[in-house]
Structure 1
Amino acid sequence: MLKPNMYYGNLKESYLFYHIAQKTKAYLQEHPDAHLYRMGIGDVSLPLCDAVVKALHEAVDDQADAARFHGYMPECGAPFLREAIAEYYGKHGVSVTADEVFVSSGASDELGDLLDLFDRGSDALVIEPAYPAYVDANVMAGRNIVHLASSKENGFLPLPDENTKADIIYLCSPNNPTGAVFSREQLAQWVRFANENGAVILFDAAYEAFIEDETLPHSIFEIEGAKTCAIEICSLSKTAGFTGTRLGYTVIPKTLCRNGMNLNEMWVRNRTTKTNGVSYIIQKGGAAVFTDEGQRQIHDNIQIYKNNARILMEALDSIGIWYCGGKNAPYIWMKCPDNMGSWEFFDWILNEIQVVGTPGEGFGACGEGYFRFSTFGSPEDTKEAARRLVALLSKEKPISE
C-alpha cells in the first residue's frame, strides 16, 4: 500500500486568513449594508502599469503570428528577462550575471521549491513572527525547524549569537509581517555567521522596492561575503502589481557551494527537470518592468501605497501607539492597546469601526499582542480607516456607516 507523506499530518491548521474571512463574512451577513475597510491581506489594488500592459498586448500579438510565435520557454528564464534583471542589479551596484538569475512564477513557489537543494536533515531557522509558508514548507519536508524569537526590544530584527544553530536561514527584509528592515551591519553579522557555519541564507527581498532610506540594503548581495552563503528570492507581485499575473526571480551565485556541490548548477538541473518555464507573455510583461519607463511607472504606484503608510503612521503617532514598519515597507506592525490580544483587537475594530487587519498571533507566538496593517488599499479607504482608528483609540465616538 502506498504511504503518503506523513509529515503533512504535522501541519497546523492554516486558519489565519480563513478565520479572518469567516469573521468578516459573518459580520457582513449581520450588517449587509456595511462597508469594510480592508487592510489585512497584502494584495495590491492598483492595476498593472501602462508599460507592462503594452508589453503584454504585444506578446499576445506575437503568439498570433507564426513568425513571432513562442512555444516552450527556457526553463530557467528567457535570456531577455534574465539579462534585464542582471542589469537592474548592476544599476544598484550589485554585480550579477544573467546565468545567476532564475525566472519563476513567484516568490512563494521558489521559497518552497528551493528546499530541494538541501538534505532533509538540515535544520531551518525561522525568525518569528514569520510569513507562515516558511514554516509550513519545512514541516512538509520533515525538516527540524529552529524558531528564533524577535520582539519590540530588538526591533523585530534578532541577530545570531553563540547559541544559534542552523543550516538554512530565512531572512525577510523588509519583513513581512513586521515591516522591519535589516541594516548593512546587521546583515553582515548574519552573512558572517552563515559563512563560518556552512549555512545558507534564503533572503526574501520581495519588498525591496519599498525601501526609501538610502542607508538600508535592497539586496543581501550588497554585503561582502554574501555570494558564498546566500540565495535571494524576489517578486514582482508587490513591486509591479503582479499578484494576479505571477512572476518572480531568484539569484543563486555561481560561487555558492556546499560539500563540493555547486548550488547554481544544482538549481539549473532542478529547473530543467521539474519545470517547462514561465509563459512568454508574462516574461515579456516582466521585462517591461525593468525599462526606464516601467521603473518610473511602478514607482509612481509604489508612492501611492507609501502615502497610505504615511497616513496610517501619522494616525498612530497622533495617539501614541507604538509600531514599526511603514516607512520602508508596505506593512505596519502595531502594538495592540491596553494589552489586548491580537484576535480581541481584530474583533473590536471590526465591530466598532469596520476596519479589517491581521492579528499578529497568526504569524507565530511572538506576534501575540500585535497587529498588522497592509497599505495596499485605496487612498480613500485608508484615510477613512485611519480617521476611524484615531477616533476609536482616542476614546472618541467614530462616525460609522
Structure 2
Amino acid sequence: MKINRNFDNLVPNYLFAEIAKKTSAYATAHPEQKLIRLGIGDVTLPLPRTAVQAMKVGAGELSHKETFKGYPEYEGYDFVREAVAKYYAGFGVKIEADEVFISDGAKSDTGNIGDIFGADNTVTVPDPVYPVYVDANIMAGRRIVYAPGTRENRFLPMPDESIHADIIYLCSPNNPTGAAYSADQLKAWVDYAIKNDAVILYDAAYEAFIEDDCPRSIFAIDGARECAIEFCSLSKTAGFTGVRCGYTVIPKELVRDGHNIHALWYRRQATKFNGVSYPVQRAAAAVFSEEGQKEFKANIEYYKENARIISAALDELGIFYTGGKNSPYIWLECPKGMGSWEFFDYLLENAQVVGTPGEGFGSQGKGYFRLTSFGDRENTVEAVERIKKLLG
C-alpha cells in the first residue's frame, strides 16, 4: 500500500503549539503574573438564549416516537435552508433555499470542496491566509499561487491578469488581517474569474461583523452566480464554535467542465457526510429568527466594541493596522522593526499579553501580529493599558 505523499509537502504547523508552549513556560516561571490572551480565535460569550431554547426543544422531540428524527437530510432540513435564504434577503441578496447546504462549519466545507475539482487545477490564495485553504490543496497535490497582501494594498490582494487561476480562495472580512473587500474590488475578482473560467471559493464567516457598505456576500456582486461558491458559519456569528453548524451556497446554474457544481457537491455530501444533528439545526434556524438576530447582534457588538478599544490604542500609538472595523481581528505592524516572534516574546515578557505572530499565516505575515476582540471587556481594557504603557 502507498500513503498520499502529498502530505510530505505540508509544513508542520507549529504556530499554536509554539504559542502554547511559550505561554505555559512563562506562566510556570511567573505564577504571580496575570496573563491576558488577545490571540484567542474562539468566542467567549454564551450562545444566544433563543438558540439554546430551540436546541432543547429539538432534543426533547427526539424523546417521543411521534416527533423522533433519524438521519437528517444530507443538504439540511428545509426549515433551516429557508431561514438562511430569508436572512440573505434581509441584506438585499437573493438566493434560493435549495441552493443552501447545511454543514458542520465553513472550515470543513472550504477544505472538502476540493473533492469535486481535479488535482491539475491551479489555486490562488491570498497571503497571509487561513491555513486550511493552503493545506487542503497541498494534500490534493494542486499547484498553489499566492496573491500577496501587503501594507501597500492594505492586505487586500487583487487579481494578477498575467496569472491564470482555476480556483480562487477569498475571505472577507479576512482572517487573519481583518481587511474587507469593497464592491468594486470584488467585482474585479468576479470579472477575472469569469474571464479565466475559474471558481471563487468565498469565505464569508465574518460577514455579520460588517458595519459599512462592504458587501456581506459575494452574491451581491453582478456575475457572481456564474463563478462563485459561498461558505459561512455560525461559529463567530452566533457563538457556535462548540456546537458546529454552517452553510454553503452554490447557485444551481454554476457549471464547469460540463458538470453542474451544485449537483456534484450534493453527490459528494451524500457519499461522505451524514448531515447536522436535528437539535443543532433547530438552534441554527432560531439564530435567524427576529429574536435570535437581536441576540447574536448584541454579542457581535460587544466584540466590535473590544475591537474599537484596541484600534483606538493603536491609533494613539501611531501603529499601522488593518481590521478593527468590520472584523473581530486587528492586524498590526510590529513596532520598532521587530519580527513577529520577537514581538510575541516582548509583549509576553513585558506586558503579559499573548497575541499571534503573523508569520504563522504566511510569508507576508512576517513583521505583523494578530490581536482579537473575542476576550471579555475587562481583560481587553487592561491589556490595552498594558500595551500603551509598554509602547507609549
- TM-score using structure 2 length: 0.99
Alignment of 1:334-345 (within 5 A): 334-345=332-343
The answer on 1:75 being equivalent to 2:74 is yes
**Partner of 1:277 in structure 2?**
275
Structure 2 counterpart of 1:361, from 359, 362, 387: 359
Deviation at 1:93, TM superposition (A): 1.3
The answer on 1:192 being equivalent to 2:187 is no
Equivalent position SS for 2:232: strand
Letter in 2 for 1:368: K
Letter in 1 for 2:54: A
**Partner of 1:109 in structure 2?**
108
Number of matched residues?
Answer: 392
**Partner of 2:266 in structure 1?**
268
Q: Deviations over 1:171-201 (max 9, x none)?
A: 0000000000000000000000000110000
The answer on 1:318 being equivalent to 2:316 is yes
Letter in 1 for 2:93: V
Output the CA distance in 1 between the equivalents of 2:147 and 2:215. 22
Show structure 1 runs of 4+ deviating over 4 A: none
Letter in 2 for 1:157: L
8 Å CA contact 2:147–2:158 kept in 1: the answer is no
Output the CA distance in 2 between the equivalents of 1:210 and 1:47. 17
Output the CA distance in 1 between the equivalents of 2:265 and 2:157. 30
Which stretch of structure 1 is more off in the superposition, 142-151 or 200-209? 142-151
Output the CA distance in 1 between the equivalents of 2:78 and 2:340. 46
Q: Deviations over 1:360-381 (max 9, x none)?
A: 0000010000100010000010
Deviation at 1:41, TM superposition (A): 2.5
8 Å CA contact 2:84–2:288 kept in 1: the answer is yes
Letter in 2 for 1:267: W
Deviation at 1:60, TM superposition (A): 1.2
Letter in 2 for 1:95: K
**Partner of 1:397 in structure 2?**
none
Letter in 1 for 2:171: C
**Partner of 1:175 in structure 2?**
174
Deviation at 1:161, TM superposition (A): 2.8
**Partner of 2:298 in structure 1?**
300
Alignment of 1:95-134 (within 5 A): 95-134=94-133
Output the CA distance in 2 between the equivalents of 1:154 and 1:164. 18
Letter in 2 for 1:112: G
**Partner of 1:255 in structure 2?**
253
Output the CA distance in 2 between the equivalents of 1:371 and 1:161. 26
**Partner of 2:386 in structure 1?**
388
Deviation at 1:162, TM superposition (A): 2.3
Q: Deviations over 1:332-352 (max 9, x none)?
A: 000101110000000000011
Gaps of 5+ in 1: 395-401
Output the CA distance in 2 between the equivalents of 1:26 and 1:260. 56
Structure 2 counterpart of 1:245, from 229, 239, 243: 243
- TM-score using structure 1 length: 0.97
The answer on 1:9 being equivalent to 2:3 is no
**Partner of 2:25 in structure 1?**
26
Output the CA distance in 2 between the equivalents of 1:164 and 1:328. 30
Equivalent position SS for 1:154: coil
Q: Deviations over 1:84-120 (max 9, x none)?
A: 1011111221111111000000011001110011100
Letter in 2 for 1:336: C
Q: Over the residues paired in the alignment, what is the CA RMSD in angstroms?
A: 0.7
